[in-house]
């Protein structure tokens, strides 16, 4: 199998794009796709200070690395949720990457900050749901306090097309209306949120970190992604297997049509500020402060 751009041996076959690429041309393609995604969705410019949420996994480290390589001003944010050895290992990998790349890293240690680790907080909710609330809150707080211009996360095409399918099956119109690679800030304390890897698959980010020798956490979080999400990913993969290009087409065509979901603005109607942390919420206290108490 030869690279379609040169005579070298192809190291990846990107079936849905009908592209077989060698090492160098794959990295060129990966960087170009990220660059075009940033440009197409007007995510940020070279002047902006970007806060990259890094977990230590392949996607977030791939994102941080590619943004740096492309010349953007990207700092990392690692949120330590105190999940035993998993958090210790991933924190070390992130610190190592930051040191080797000479990039600023901000660490938020939940236990140090609030006196409770994820396990002590989770209470009656599912762990993944609690974790999501904490991470979103911490990203907002750090971006606000350090005055970043934009928050970037490593969501890839597999993540986005799977969430899209789940949201569609339940007709979660509000979620659908906001499932864009760019979420504009809708309150003065919030920052723009972007997903520069949204047009690249899991397989592609995985290949990128391997080729770039980026040391990342291989093990899954012990709580793992919740089983429903894994199931929906397998459904999406089986459809892709059968109809190649479905993930890409399904997601990008959704983006072209996203406005049809935007009439419903109910979620903004009752907007208040949380009485404890001051961040926007539709109740007296935000989800984060509610689960913390």
Least separation in angstroms between CB 181 and its own copies: 17
Where does this chain bind its own copies (CB under 8 A)? 168-171, 173, 228, 231, 235, 238-239, 242-243, 246, 249-250, 253-254, 256-257, 260-261, 263
Among 144, 179, 182, CA closest to 165: 179
Least separation in angstroms between CB 260 and its own copies: 5
Least separation in angstroms between CB 52 and its own copies: 31
Within 116-245, where are the H helices? 118-121, 127-145, 157-169, 173-178, 202-211, 227-242
Rounded to whole angstroms, how far apart are CA atoms 283 and 83? 29
What 3-state DSSP class applies to 180? coil
Rounded to whole angstroms, how far apart are CA atoms 293 and 121? 8
Identity of the residue, 45 or 234, whose beta carbon is nearer to its own copies in the bound complex: 234
Identity of the residue, 62 or 165, whose beta carbon is nearer to its own copies in the bound complex: 165
Least separation in angstroms between CB 228 and its own copies: 8
Identity of the residue, 147 or 227, whose beta carbon is nearer to its own copies in the bound complex: 227
| Half-sphere exposure of residue 222: CA atoms within 13 angstroms, side-chain side | 12
Identity of the residue, 85 or 263, whose beta carbon is nearer to its own copies in the bound complex: 263
Identity of the residue, 5 or 15, whose beta carbon is nearer to its own copies in the bound complex: 15
| Angle between the N-to-C axes of helices 202-211 and 58-69, in degrees from 0 to 180, rounded to the nearest 10 | 60
Place of tokens 């760019």: 182
Least separation in angstroms between CB 158 and its own copies: 15
């Amino acid at each position: 199998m030869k690279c379609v751009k040169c005579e070298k041996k192809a190291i990846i076959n990107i079936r849905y794009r009908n592209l077989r690429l060698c090492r160098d041309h794959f990295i060129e393609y990966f960087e170009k796709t990220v660059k075009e995604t940033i440009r197409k969705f007007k995510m940020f410019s070279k002047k902006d200070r970007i806060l990259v949420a890094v977990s230590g996994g392949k996607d977030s480290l791939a994102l941080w690395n590619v943004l740096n390589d492309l010349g953007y001003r990207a700092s990392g944010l690692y949120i330590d949720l105190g999940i035993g050895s998993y958090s210790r290992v991933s924190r070390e990998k992130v610190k190592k990457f930051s040191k080797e790349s000479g990039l600023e890293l901000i660490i938020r240690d939940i236990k140090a900050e609030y006196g409770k680790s994820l396990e002590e907080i989770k209470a009656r909710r599912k762990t993944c749901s609690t974790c999501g609330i904490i991470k979103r809150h911490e990203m907002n707080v750090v971006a606000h306090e350090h005055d970043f211009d934009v928050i970037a996360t490593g969501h890839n095409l597999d993540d986005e097309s799977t969430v899209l399918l789940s949201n569609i099956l339940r007709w979660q119109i509000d979620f659908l209306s906001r499932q864009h690679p760019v979420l504009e800030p809708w309150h003065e304390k919030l920052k723009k949120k972007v997903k520069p890897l949204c047009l690249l698959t899991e397989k592609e980010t995985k290949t990128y970190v391997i080729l770039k020798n980026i040391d990342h956490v291989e093990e899954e979080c012990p709580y793992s992604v919740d089983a429903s999400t894994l199931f929906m990913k397998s459904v999406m993969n089986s459809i892709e297997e059968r109809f190649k290009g479905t993930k890409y087409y399904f997601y990008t065509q959704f983006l072209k049509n996203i406005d049809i979901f935007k009439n419903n603005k109910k979620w903004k109607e009752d907007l208040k500020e949380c009485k404890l942390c001051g961040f926007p919420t539709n109740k007296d206290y935000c989800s984060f402060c509610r689960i913390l108490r």
